[in-house]
Amino acid sequence: MFSEALGETIFLCEDEETRTTLIEAGAEPWSIYILDELQILLAQNRIKPLTQAELRKVHTLKRTIGARIAGRTAAAMSPSMSVFHRSISLERVAALLP
């Protein structure tokens, strides 16, 4: 789907298997958001709505350092989240924002 907020195409998928299929089909890994990442973003948005600038910053970090969105919520929902390397929590993203 094309994201107006990000100005580019992103992919939303349910799990790692679908993510792998998307990558094999040519999608860039940083452009894919799996369900666990979306749940973290939605949970954060309920606490304090994310601005477009904050969403762009998260997306830029995903692209630049190959980060994955992780957090305490994700670890509780999916033990496999702890094996993701270069994961970045929303708390860490917030610390990087101006």
Q: Among 15-19, 29-33, 74-78, 80-84, which stretch is predicted with the lowest mean pLDDT? A: 80-84
Residues 6+ positions from 40 with CB-CB distance below 8 Å: 69, 70, 71, 73, 74, 90
Q: Is 86 helix (H, G, I), strand (E, B) or coil?
A: coil
Each domain of the chain, given as residue ranges in start order, spans 2-96
Model pTM greater than 0.75? no
Per-residue pLDDT of 25-77, as tens digits, reads 999 999 999 999 889 888 888 888 888 888 888 888 888 887 788 765 444 43
d(CA 68, CA 26) in angstroms, rounded, equals: 19
Which strand (E) or helix (H) includes residue 94? helix 90-96
